[in-house]
Chain A
Amino acid sequence: MNTTLGREIEYLPQSRRRLLVGVALAGYPVAVAVLAGLKHTSLNRWLILALFLLLLMPTLATLIVGYRYARGRIDGRRARLDERDLALRQEAYALSHRVLTVILIAATAITEIYLTSGNTLQLDANTFWPAAIWVIVYLPALPSLMLAWIETDQPADA
């Protein structure tokens, strides 16, 4: 990633960063839901796959931007992390934990309601993989996304 683009990402205003975080978090579940819906139609499988990948693009792009924004600070690799960086990192991890807790409780509650309503849930590749991919992708990305969410706009250079 060239430095101009890197600098643009570094100086993204908070409102735009929050929009990107929203897209990153909602994009994958939406793509999976669309895929699940289209599977039962007569649409060509390649067309469904292409549509799924197209829907996945904004998620991937926003995840990369979120990672790039927090890179070095969230993973502690930057040579000099000062006290504000450390406080911000701590806050981002705490918020990630809260968000993850809400998502897991909501997912458990929805599954519980679904099962107690007389439905059955079959654990196969179709149900396991979307959940596994969510865990693999979002668990490491969540702290970066939360840092991008909480940090206020950078002061202009002076």
Chain B
Amino acid sequence: MPDSQRRVHNRLAVLRAERGLSRRQLADKLAINYQTIGYIERGDYNPSLELALTIAELFRLPIEAIFSLKPMTPLSEEIFRDPPAATS
């Protein structure tokens, strides 16, 4: 990744593990090379908008749940940080 490029953080490794997918299996579903998955997970490559949207579609999650410009916190932390408002 060029130095001038801003790093895009992601939860790809966690989501992939959660769904029990290997890099190769995920890569096959996305029609890309399996090494590219590793580079994205490591933050060495920022996917194109098209690929990011395809990944979001595959995991059935909004794109911001997978990719962010800020370092990502664990999903559980985000869920418990803002408890739902009590219903009357």
Contacts and interface: CB of A to CB of B under 8 A. Distances in A.
Chain A partners chain B: yes
B23 A83 contact: no
A8 to B, nearest CB: 16
A124 interface: no
B38 A155 contact: yes
Interface of A: 80, 82-85, 87, 91, 152, 154-158
Given A84-B45, A154-B38, A155-B39, 6 more contacts: A83-B51, A84-B35, A84-B39, A152-B1, A155-B38, A158-B23
Given A157-B23, A158-B22, A158-B23, A84 B41 contact: no
B42 A82 contact: no
A84 B47 CA distance: 8
Contacts of B32: 80, 82-84
A155 B45 contact: no
B44 A85 contact: no
A91 B4 CA distance: 14
A69 to B, nearest CB: 13
Contacts of B2: 91
Contact of A82 (B23, B33, B38): B33
Contact of A83 (B35, B38, B47): B47
